[in-house]
Amino acid sequence: MSGTFVGMPAFPKAAHEAVGNTTLRANLKHATHTIRDKRAKAVAELDDWALLREAGKQIKDHTLRHLDTYLVQLEEAVTAAGGVVHWAADADEANRIVTRLVKETGESEVVKVKSMATQEIGLNEALEAAGIAAYETDLAELIVQLGHDRPSHILVPA
């Protein structure tokens, strides 16, 4: 069984190891409580929080049901604005496209924003294999990257 992200162990093995890591558990507990407290304060500021949340859910569900249409619309808008859209069938193709685009610039270093999609497809590893160094702009992601580690949480990776 393969891991969730490139280079990560399968979930059962990773979960078993993480449960035994008291420092990680304490850090995640603290982070989770901090995030929940901040969320609760923000929610309390809005009388119509539940309505806004439901409206957001309906927009998301509608968009996902019609994603093919919206992706084509996005491509049209990006193209009209002078951009170029690249379509990839899978992670390997996406990594090849990005690697080729970087190589075409002649650069050997890139700066990239935090993205779960690039984490999931292993973009940093693909770039590294091609001799391209990718640096994260998110401080916590950069800390994890420089420590040759993996994120331990989607919101607070370090």
Q: Please, which pLDDT band fits residue 153 given cuts at 50, 70 and 90? A: low
The whole-model pTM stands at 0.71
Q: Please, which pLDDT band fits residue 95 given cuts at 50, 70 and 90? A: very high
Q: Please, which pLDDT band fits residue 1 given cuts at 50, 70 and 90? A: very low
C-alpha pair distances (Å), 54 with each of 39, 42, 57, 59: 16, 16, 5, 9
C-alpha pair distances (Å), 8 with each of 2, 33, 67, 126, 143: 8, 26, 30, 15, 18
Cβ 7 vs Cβ 122: under 8 Å: yes
Nearest to 119 by CA among 87, 151, 92, 96: 151
Q: What is the pLDDT of residues 22-56, one digit of tens each?
A: 988 898 889 889 999 999 999 999 999 999 999 99
For residue 29, the Cα-to-chain-centroid distance in whole angstroms is: 21
- Average pLDDT over all residues of the chain: 89
% of residues, the chain, pLDDT over 70? 91
Burial class (CB in 10 A: 0-12, 13-18, 19+), 24: middle
